[in-house]
Structure formats: structure tokens, C-alpha cells
Amino acid sequence: MTKSNIRPRMMSGNEACVEAALLAGVRFYAGYPITPSSEIAELMAARLPKCGGKFIQMEDEIASMAAVIGASLAGVKAMTATSGPGFSLKQENIGYASMTEVPCLIVNVQRGGPSTGLPTLPSQGDVMQARWGTHGDHPVIAIAPSSVGETFEQTIRAINLSEKFRVPVILLLDEIVGHVTEKVVLPDPESVEIFNRVKPAVAPEQYVPYEQTASDVPPMASMGEGYRYHVTGLTHDEHGFTTSDPKKIDALIRRLHRKIESHREEIVQVATEYLEDAEIVVLAYGSTARSARRAVLMAREEKIPAGLFRPITLWPFPEQEIFNLAEPVSHLIVPEMNLGQIAHEVEHAVMGNADVISITRVDGEPIRPQQIFEKIRDIAQK
């Protein structure tokens, strides 16, 4: 990148999400205002009409998700943004998008719950809802950035993954990441890799909308392009028509999962620091990873061999990476702003090879570096 193409800016995580979505080609947004995600809707309302896109404020979150699915079926990259209560309302239609293989982006800027909870304070309580919120066995990708710059990068990546694998992708921000303002260097747009869904290469009369392919992802025709096909949330055959044939049902559900599971190496991303000699590792995600990194640095200043493991992709869960991590270390500390949702998954992944210690906080305040550091020091002194 040449120096003239470097564009530093001060922006929040919510602003970075909008900039990235527009760069990735999003041209439709349907949503309903809800703290702490409302800035995304406000900015989309101002920006989309200027680049030929459409913004619709729907009557509720259920209709918002339905409109996003409709726009995507028509061939437009589409997204919505919400927080906990709205995320709950979207779940049925997220399941519909999973079954019908409609790519779309759902941004959840997390706040405290249950119910309306803490509208203006941070939380990481929607981690399990992101994976299991909708009913049935469904595939999902969920990504948790920890900074404004990473929000920009991962928003583009989330949209690319959605288009490539024909699946709803959830971007799990939290109130801190959404509202913190940081310096971001925006890339030259021409240097950014953008993926567009694969279109059918056959004539309309030969098109099989849910055919088996080598990648398990069938090409997707847009409505209005002459390709007529049936879309239903019911179990369906390769042509999209409802079926009760056990073999076809089994093949469909397993293919939906296989298209994600067989591409884990491409989808799963983690970041690590100071692991070379680490005996105690802090595993953290989202804004809590910022406190975790500072705690690790504090430990290093006292000659305690601590390291940081940060899952950027939460679902699919990086089980193998965590299993490999646990073999040479004695303890894994998992701080999170919930009652231990990811800590439970970490315990399952390490299979007894390391002690897993959960640090939780659910009072609307962030977990601070000192709190994590004190746990590191306690372990080191034993």
C-alpha cells in the first residue's frame, strides 16, 4: 500500500462496522433501533442511499430479519444490527436463513440481560445464544472482534464468509467494542478482498438450487434473474420442494453442517501472544481480551510466564487449537462478562490436560486487568 492510500481515522466500533459493510458491498439494511447498536442503523440510514443502497426501519426485529432474508434472496448483500432483546426476536428467522442457505450478516452489540437488562452497559452473555439460539441442528459462524480496527477487518470477513458458505454470520461485538473510539487505518479499497456468492453456470431450466457440490455449497441464483426455484423452511430435496424422505432429510441436514465443519481451517481464527514459554494462559475474547492482554503484560513484568490466547472465531469453536494449547500449560484462565459460557467449552476442549479457572462478572462493569493479574499471581505462587 502506498503512503497516499493510508487513511487514518478516529472512529468507534459501530462506525467501523458500517464502513466495512459498505466496502464489502452491503446495499441493504433493515433494522430497529436498540442500544447499544443504534449508531449502526443511524449511519446506514445516512450512507446507504448515497451509494445506491436501501435502508428500511422495520416495525420490529422479526420483520427486520425477514426483510434482510428477502433482500439477500434478491441478490443484494444484506445485514441488520441489534442487541440482546432484538437478537432473541430474530432467532426464528435466523433458523429460516440457515435452512434456506441465505447469506446475511447479523451484528449483535451485546448488553446485559436477561430481558431488557442493562441497555447501556457491556456484557458477553449472548455467546451461547449465538450458537444455539435458533431451534434444530443448524450451522453457524460467530466472530468476536476485540478492537475497532479488528471490527473493521472482521466485518468484511464475516460478510465474505456468509457469501461463500451461504450461511448467516453473527458478528458478536459488545458495548465496549461498539462504543470505544480508536485510531483506525483504513485500507485502500482496491486492496481489500471481497467475495461474492457463486452464481449458477447453467441455464435456468437446468438449475438445481440445492444440489450437492464438491464444496457442499450450491450456487445461488438471485430472484428476478430468470431462475425460478422453491424456497421453504421445511426440509426439502435438491430442488427445494418439501420432502419426508428420511434419506433426503438426513443428506440435507448433514450437508448444511458439513459445509462449515469441513472448512474449519479457513473459518476459525485465533490470535496468540507470549505462548512460547507460557505456563499460565489467559483465554479471552471481545473487549475482555483487552484487559487480559494488559494482565499478561503485568505478569511478565514480574517474571511470571503468562500468555494470551484469543479466539476471534467463537463458532465453530476452536477445540483443536485449545486442546493443543493445553498440553504444555498448567492453567487456563477464562475471564468473561457472563457466568462462564465459554469456560465450559474450554473445559470440554482441554480434556483434563490443564486446570480451567473461570473469572466472571455480570454487574455491567468490565473485568479489569488487575482482577485477572491477581488470579495469575495466585496460581504462580502456589
Determine, yes or no, domain membership for 53: yes
* Residue 52 grid cell: 445506491
Residue 285 corresponds to which cell in the numbers above?
A: 475474547
Report the pLDDT averaged over residues 293-314: 98
294 is written with which cell numbers?
494488559
Residue 213 within any structural domain of the chain: no
DSSP letter assigned to residue 225: T
Residue 179 shares a structural domain with residue 55: yes
Query: Could you tell me the pLDDT band of residue 1, with boundaries at 50, 70 and 90?
Result: very low
- Considering the domain architecture, whether residues 184 and 277 belong to the same structural domain is answered as no
Instruction: Say what the pLDDT of residue 7 is.
Output: 74
Dist. CA 25–CA 298, nearest whole Å? 42
pLDDT tens, position by position, 156-215: 999 999 999 999 999 999 999 999 999 999 999 999 999 999 999 999 999 999 999 999
Determine the pLDDT at residue 63.
Answer: 98
What pLDDT, on the 0 to 100 scale, is given for residue 331?
A: 97
CA distances from 214 to 166, 219, 235, 262 (A): 14, 11, 21, 11
pLDDT per position as a tens digit, 223-252? 999 999 999 999 999 999 999 999 999 999
Rounded Cα gap, residues 11 and 4, in angstroms: 20
What's the pLDDT at 6? 64
Share of the chain above pLDDT 70, in %: 98
For residue 107, give its domain range: 3-191
**Phi and psi torsions of 109, nearest 5°:** -90, 100
CATH number, residue 332: 3.40.50.920
Quick one: 177 and 50 in the same domain? Answer: yes
Of 135, 160, 191, at which residue does a domain stop?
Answer: 191
Q: Is residue 324 part of a domain?
A: yes
Instruction: Place 327 in a pLDDT band, splitting at 50, 70 and 90.
Output: confident
Q: Would you say residue 54 lies in a domain?
A: yes
* Domains contained in the chain, number: 2
pLDDT of 4 over the 70 cut: no
Q: Which of 130, 158, 191 is the last residue of a domain?
A: 191
Last residue of a domain, one of 167, 191, 215: 191
For position 9, which CATH number holds?
Answer: 3.40.50.970
> Does the pLDDT at position 279 exceed 80?
yes
Residue 252, in any domain of the structure: no
CA-CA distance, 344 to 271, in Å (whole number)?
20
Whether the pLDDT of residue 221 is over 80: the answer is yes
Alpha carbon distance 356, 358 (integer Å): 7
160 and 41 within one domain: yes
Q: How far apart are CA 381 and CA 379, in angstroms?
A: 5
State the average pLDDT for the chain. 96
One domain for residues 175 and 297: no
